[in-house]
A and B are shown apart, each in its own frame.
Chain A
Amino acid sequence: MGQLLVNGLTTGLILALPALALALSFSVLRFANYAIGSYVTVGAFVTWWANVALALPFWVAAIIGSVAVASLAVSIDALVYRHMRERSGLTLLVASMGVAIALENVVRLFAGNSPRSFDVPVARPQRFFDIRVNQEQLIILITVLGALILVWLVFRFTRLGRAMRAVADNAALASVRGIARGRVIAVVWALSGGLSALAGVLIGLDTSIEPQMGWNYLLPIFTAAILGGIASPMAAVAGALVLGMAEEVSTLFLPPHYRMIVAFVIMAALLMLRPWGLFGTKWVQR
C-alpha cells in the first residue's frame, strides 16, 4: 500500500503542473485550452533536443524547454486567441484543438514517431521502510514542489499575483483599477506554457518522449483540473493529487491498463454532479 501511495503521489505531482497551467489560463480567459497536451509534448521534445542533440546538462535543457514553450504559448495567443478574445469559450476551445493538432504534427515532422529518452545517468533506487523510490521520482517530487511553492508565492505576495487574481475575479473592475489585462494574459500564457513544458520533461523522465505523450495525458489533466476546480488554480493541484492517488489505488481492483477508466468515471460524475469541482467556486456552469 505504501508503494502504491508513493507511485500515486508521483502521478499526481506530474499531473499537478499541467492541471495548474490549465486552471490558470481558464481562470483568466474563461476557456479550457485543449492545446495544453501539445505544450507538454513540445516542452519534452525541445528539452530532449537541447539535452541530447546539443549535449547540454539535463537541467539547462529543461530550462531551455520551459522558456521555449512559455514563448510559444505567448506567441500562439498573439497569433490566434487574441483575435477571438470576445468570442465564447466554446469557439476558443475549438481553436485550441486546431492549435493542438498543428503543434503535434510539427513535432512529428521534425522528430519522427519513435520514442526517445533523456541523457541522464542511471541511479539505483533508494529504499525507505520497504518502499522503493527511484531517482526520477525524487526529481519529480523536488521539481514539482519547488514550482508549486514558487507559483503560490507569486500568487499570494506579489503585485503580479494580485493582478492575475484580480483579472480572474473581475476583469472589468481590474481594468478600471489600472491593470493592463493584455499584460496579465501574456504572463498567464507564459506561466501556463512553462509549467506544461516542465510537466513534459518530468513525464519524459518517468516514461519516454513521444509525439502523442501530451495527448495521452490530456484526459487526466482535464479531470484533475475539474476535480479540484477548473477556475481555481491551486485547487486544481489538489485535484491532481487526489486523481493520482485514485488511479494508483484502483490498480488494487483493476488491471493497470484500465486506470484511465478511473479518470473517465471521475470526470463524468463531476460534470454531472459537481462541475465546479471539490474545492472550486460554484459559478462554473454544467
Chain B
Amino acid sequence: MSVTAKSLTATGLVAGYGGQPVLRGVSFTAHAGEILTVVGPNGSGKSTLIKTVLGLIRPIEGRILLDEEDITPLSPSQRANAGIGYVPQEANVFPNMTVLENLRLGVDFIQQRPAKRFDRRLEEVLDLFPEIRPKLSTRAGLLSGGQRQMVAMASALMPEPFLLALDEPSAGLSPRNAELLFKIISRIARTGVTLFLIEQNTRLGLGASDTGLVLVSGEVKLSGTASDILGNPAIRRLYLGGA
C-alpha cells in the first residue's frame, strides 16, 4: 500500500443542531500520517465534531481543510471522493449485504487513488484483516460486533483514503477485541493513512495515538502529544475519569 496521507485542519468550528451550537470554536490539526484521538466526557461534542468533519453536519462557522483543500462546502459523498474514509460507531455495515458486497461498496462509488484492480486491493485489505477472509460470503448483519467493526474499517480502507475517521471504534467490544483493534489501527497508520479517532476508552485511544485532543463542553481544553495528555494527572482526574 502506498498512500500519501494528508493532514486534516479545522479552524474555529462552530456547529450543532437546530442552530444551537454544540462545538464552540474548535480548532486542531491532525498531521499527515499521524493518529489523532479526541477524548472527553459524555456530551462534550465528540460525535458532533466527527459528524462535522464528515459533512453530516454543516458548521455554522469555521473551515475544514484536507491538506490545502477547503472541504467545508462538500457533501459527505463528495468528501468521501476527496479521500476521507469513515467508520461510524453504530450501523457501520450494510447488514443485509454480504461482507464481499460491503467491501465492494467501499470502492463502487469512490474514485480510487491510484486506480487499482478490485481483486488486488481486496487482497491488500484482507491481509490487514485476516479474520474476515473466511466470512466474505456471510451477511454482515450476522457477524459479531468485532467482526462487523473490522468489515466497516476494511470497507472504508478499500478506496485507499488519505484520512480515516473512526467514531468510537472500541465501543461494545470486549477488552481483548478492543486491544486487537487498536493494534490494527496502528498497522493502518503505518500504511500511510492519517487517522482521526473519537474514543471513550482514553487509555487505549491515547495509548495508540501520536497526538490527542481533550474536548469538554464543545471546547478544546487541551491538545498536545498523546503521552503528555495521558501523563497529566489533573486532566485525567477532571476530564478522563481518572483513567
Residues of A within 8 A of B (CB): 159, 162-163, 165-166, 169-170, 172-181, 281
Contacts and interface: CB of A to CB of B under 8 A. Distances in A.
Interface string B133-156: 000000000000000000000010
A179 B109 contact: yes
Given A175-B75, A176-B76, A166 B91 contact: no
B121 interface: no
Contact of B94 (A159, A166, A178, A281): A166
A172 B91 contact: yes
What interface size band does chain B fall in?
Answer: 20 to 34
Consensus secondary structure, chain A interface: helix
Interface in B46-95: 54, 56, 75-77, 79-81, 86, 88, 91-95
A166 B155 contact: no
A177 B86 CA distance: 8
A97 to B, nearest CB: 29
Given A159-B108, A172-B88, A180 B97 contact: no
B77 A173 contact: no
Interface stretch (B37-45, B98-106, B182-190, B215-223): B98-106
B77 A179 contact: yes
Given A176-B77, A177-B109, 14 more contacts: A163-B105, A165-B97, A169-B96, A170-B93, A173-B91, A175-B56, A176-B56, A176-B79, A176-B88, A177-B155, A178-B77, A178-B80, A179-B77, A180-B77
B110 interface: yes
A166 B54 contact: no
A169 B95 contact: yes
B95 A176 contact: no
Contacts of A179: 77, 105, 108-109
29 contacts: A159-B108, A159-B109, A162-B104, A163-B108, A165-B97, A166-B105, A169-B94, A170-B93, A170-B94, A170-B95, A172-B88, A173-B91, A173-B92, A173-B94, A174-B94, A175-B56, A175-B76, A176-B80, A176-B86, A177-B77, A177-B106, A177-B108, A177-B110, A177-B155, A178-B109, A179-B77, A179-B105, A180-B77, A181-B77
Nearest to B96: A169
A284 to B, nearest CB: 14
A281 B141 CA distance: 12
B117 to A, nearest CB: 16
Contacts of A170: 91, 93-95
Contacts of A165: 94, 96-97
A73 B81 CA distance: 29
Given A173-B88, A177-B80, A162 B96 contact: no
A185 B94 CA distance: 18
B94 A172 contact: no
A30 to B, nearest CB: 15
Contacts of B54: 176
Nearest to A167: B94
Contacts of B110: 177-178
Considering residues B86, B96, B155, which has the most beta carbons from chain A within 10 angstroms of its beta carbon? B96
A169 B96 CA distance: 7
A162 B91 contact: no
Nearest to B82: A178
A172 B75 CA distance: 12
A96 B226 CA distance: 54
Considering residues A173, A175, A181, which has the most beta carbons from chain B within 10 angstroms of its beta carbon? A173
Contacts of A172: 56, 88, 91
A163 B91 contact: no
Contacts of A281: 96
A159 B101 CA distance: 10
Shortest Cβ-Cβ A-B pairs, 10 listed: A178-B109, A178-B110, A178-B80, A169-B94, A175-B76, A176-B86, A178-B77, A176-B76, A179-B109, A159-B108
Contacts of A181: 77
B96 A163 contact: no
Contacts of B75: 175
A176 B87 CA distance: 9
Interface in B172-209: none
A236 to B, nearest CB: 15
Given A163-B109, A178-B81, A169 B97 contact: yes
Contacts of B101: 162
